[in-house]
């Protein structure tokens, strides 16, 4: 509300810039710290109907119920498994050599930029389950169309109309704030899943997978980035992506405490605990995306990029770590 008062209640450019920045931050917090975590059921134990996973509908075009199916189930249960986890490259990018290369991947850097700018739309379309029946897909599409209509009306008609003669300021601020939220959510999510060193798996890893091996896969397939309290809050505490994948329904404000126990456990069993600055993790992610836009023959066998190492060597390392888990 403070942001909107600054946008519509001031005439200066400085007021618009400050208000738009505040609105973008508010939308990011609503999306990352509140919407994402509430939809994971992290606060269901409070029995508060306003912040319950069964009732929450967040401030973007994606439908919460559809997102919970594609994210909470398909992504978290089958994390980083080719053909099972739809978040692995989001259906448009090649992020491992286990995915065959084709000429269309040459456009991957541009696709990555487009996805970053339109991330809420990518998430929304991502929620449509292509494996459902035709009738179910029609129902999902209608629900998504209704959400898009309501969201578009609120952001680009209702709020500008309430600003009266300042409607242009509000319209522009809403568009910029939504863009800023898209970019920030994209950076946080990609830095948690695609930096150099994160492991990807073929479907055979699911055969006879034990519960301990499931936890191991979550640890090997995720990455953290270093953050203080402010950056942690702004990212929904997804700077602790490893811990979040181990305990998806753990309240986000407890992830930092759990990290103090998870990292020593990784050190004890020789497991990688991938972390680094936000800039480093994002740079690493961009490196993976740009390298894998080209055929594998462009890079030598000893290239220091985990995502493009031969499958056999990666599987051998995973098997050794599984053996350590079984022994423990």
Please identify which residue in the block is written with the tokens 């978040």. Answer: 87
Task: Quote the CA–CA distance of 325 and 211 in Å, as a whole number.
Answer: 11
**Cα–Cα nearest to 194, from 59, 326, 75, 306:** 306
Quote the pLDDT of residue 321: 61
Task: Quote the CA–CA distance of 52 and 39 in Å, as a whole number.
Answer: 7
Structural contact between residues 180 and 120, judged by C-beta atoms closer than 8 angstroms: no
Quote the pLDDT of residue 325: 58
Task: Quote the CA–CA distance of 40 and 298 in Å, as a whole number.
Answer: 41
Contacts by 261-270, CB closer than 8 A, 24 or more apart: 262/219, 266/219, 269/321, 269/324, 269/325, 269/328, 270/321, 270/324
- Joined together, the tokens standing for residue 226 give 């270093």
Task: Quote the CA–CA distance of 4 and 163 in Å, as a whole number.
Answer: 9
Task: Quote the CA–CA distance of 278 and 190 in Å, as a whole number.
Answer: 11
Alpha helices in the chain (DSSP H): 2-9, 13-29, 37-39, 64-67, 76-77, 108-117, 119-126, 134-153, 159-162, 167-191, 211-220, 229-234, 241-246, 255-268, 278-291, 311-327
- CB atoms inside a 10 Å sphere around CB 96: 23
Residue 201 φ/ψ, nearest 5 degrees:
-130, 150
Q: At what angle do helices 119-126 and 167-191 cross, to 10 degrees?
A: 60
Quote the pLDDT of residue 298: 80
- Joined together, the tokens standing for residue 69 give 């199916």
DSSP 248-275: TTS-GGGHHHHHHHHHHHHHHTT-----
Mean pLDDT, the chain cut into blocks of 10 residues (328 residues total): 93 95 97 96 94 93 92 94 90 88 94 96 82 81 95 96 94 97 97 94 93 95 95 96 97 96 94 96 95 83 40 52 61
Quote the pLDDT of residue 132: 72
Q: Give pTM, 2 decimals.
A: 0.88
Quote the pLDDT of residue 234: 96
């Amino acid at each position: 509300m403070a942001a909107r008062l600054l946008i519509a209640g001031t005439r200066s450019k400085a007021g618009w810039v400050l208000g738009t920045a505040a609105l973008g931050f508010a939308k990011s917090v609503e999306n990352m710290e509140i919407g994402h975590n509430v939809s994971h059921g992290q606060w269901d134990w409070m029995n508060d109907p306003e912040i319950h996973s069964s009732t929450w509908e967040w401030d973007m075009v994606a439908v919460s119920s559809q997102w919970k199916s594609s994210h909470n189930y398909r992504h978290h249960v089958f994390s980083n498994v080719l053909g099972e986890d739809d978040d692995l490259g989001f259906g448009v990018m090649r992020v491992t050599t286990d995915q065959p290369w084709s000429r269309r991947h040459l456009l991957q850097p541009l696709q990555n930029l487009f996805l970053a700018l339109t991330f809420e739309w990518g998430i929304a379309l991502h929620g449509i389950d292509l494996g459902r029946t035709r009738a179910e897909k029609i129902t999902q599409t209608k629900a998504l169309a209704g959400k898009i209509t309501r969201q578009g009306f609120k952001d680009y008609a209702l709020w500008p109309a309430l600003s009266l003669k300042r409607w242009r300021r509000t319209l522009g601020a809403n568009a910029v704030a939504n863009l800023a939220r898209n970019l920030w959510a994209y950076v946080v999510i990609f830095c948690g899943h695609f930096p150099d060193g994160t492991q990807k798996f073929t479907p055979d890893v699911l055969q006879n997978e034990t519960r301990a091996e499931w936890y191991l896969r979550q640890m090997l397939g995720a990455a953290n980035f270093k953050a203080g309290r402010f950056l942690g809050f702004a990212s929904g505490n997804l700077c602790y992506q490893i811990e979040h994948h181990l305990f998806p329904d753990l309240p986000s404000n407890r992830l930092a405490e759990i990290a103090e126990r998870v990292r020593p456990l990784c050190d004890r069993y020789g497991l990688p605990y991938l972390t680094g600055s936000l800039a480093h993790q994002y740079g690493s992610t961009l490196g993976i995306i740009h390298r894998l836009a080209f055929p594998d023959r462009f890079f030598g066998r000893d290239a220091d990029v985990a995502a493009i190492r031969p499958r056999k060597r990666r599987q051998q390392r995973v098997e050794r770590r599984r053996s350590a888990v079984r022994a423990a």
